[in-house]
Amino acid sequence: MPVKNRFAELLPEITAWRRDLHENPEILFETHRTSAIVADKLKEFGCDEIVTGIGRTGVVGVIKGKTNTSGKVIGLRADMDALPIHEQTGLEYKSKVDGAMHACGHDGHTAMLLGAAKYLSETRNFDGTVVVIFQPAEEGGGGGREMCEDGMMDRWGIQEVYGMHNWPGLPLGSFSIRPGAFFAATDQFDITIEGKGGHAAKPHETVDSTLVAAHVVTALQSIVSRNADPVDQVVVSVTAIESSSKAFNVIAQRVHLKGTVRTMSTAMRDLAEKRLRAIAEGTAATFGAKAEVTYYRGYPVMVNHEEQTEFAAQVARSVSGACNDAPLVMGGEDFAFMLEERPGAYILVGNGDTAAVHHPEYNFADEAIPAGCSWWAEIVEQRMPAA
């Protein structure tokens, strides 16, 4: 079953929604305008229930099928938030908000799920209940976690949940997925090296925190090269170094390091944190300095469930004719919290040959909308076929 004709008809309308969202990006939980538009659209479509304020600014809509003999309830999730990036696309519908843009395609995700909700509300050609989930704060705020903590899964009796993300470099409208661990756990760290500052011409009277920091940066790379099993995936990146001194002739009293750790298993995550602390503290002590380590655990590993992944791939093949095996992704995705609460799967839809996500020249490809909307709709109609 190819792309549904109805979505080809709706493409101009859905594109207009997407471009309006693109012009008016909102960051993290500040998705007030976006959430209001989503709620208004769901009301216009005739959804059976619409609830706002889930996970602060999230929106949930309920669409009931013509029958409910199956008793099944499926959740479909899209993220709504933008990024704090200054857009450089030059598009006629470029961001009107200085320092904010939809550089990850969440405008497209929201528009596609709205399109699917419109179609499902029109046809209701399924036996069960659909819960459409519009989530804020995927970009570091943990909006998915907050929606779950607000009791979303139990409140609507969601049994399975499915998510989607556009993917630059993947052929336009094609699909890619993998079972098991898919997106990495995303942790952050801060390390403060405290030495003894002094005059740069008298290093023997100091404990040089900059020298210590340089050794710490180098030694941290041994977590990947010497502590991790070579077949495990782990990234340790020091992304910023800041000295307490700005002068050319002063040895700094302290240096601040920060960075990120990405892992694909709980065991590797635990090991990386343990070794990072030991290396920083031990290296500092070797030079007579002290290291204070703060480690923040962010999103967990996003794990696709085996049976739901095979079903999602089957649906993708019915829409586009094929579904490729996706590589592991060391980026994070807070849909992980929803997949920890319910079985489900997360799939990639091709955005074609565009700039990468999180790039100031990125733009969601509107031509991918019919494929994405069709996948959402087919998930429902194939999982809960009309009685």
Q: Per the annotation, does 106 bind a ligand?
A: yes
Residue 102 corresponds to which tokens in the numbers above? 């939809």
- List Cα–Cα distances, 219 to 116, 227, 376, in angstroms: 50, 11, 47
Q: Per the annotation, does 165 bind a ligand?
A: yes
90's CB contacts (< 8 A; 6+ apart) are none
Strands (E), the chain: 49-54, 58-64, 73-79, 129-135, 160-168, 175-177, 180-183, 185-194, 198-199, 234-243, 250-251, 254-263, 290-299, 302-304, 324-325, 344-352
Q: Per the annotation, does 359 bind a ligand?
A: no
Residue 236 corresponds to which tokens in the numbers above? 């340790």
Q: Per the annotation, does 333 bind a ligand?
A: no
Q: Per the annotation, does 22 bind a ligand?
A: no
Cβ atoms 261, 218 nearer than 8 A: no
Question: How deeply is 277 buried, as exposed, middle or buried, from its count of CB atoms within 10 A (0-12, 13-18, 19+)?
Answer: middle
Helix, strand, coil percentages in the chain from 3-state DSSP, rounded to 5 = 35, 30, 35
| Residues making up the binding site | 104, 106, 139, 165, 358
Indicate the annotated binding residues for Mn(2+): 104, 106, 139, 165, 358
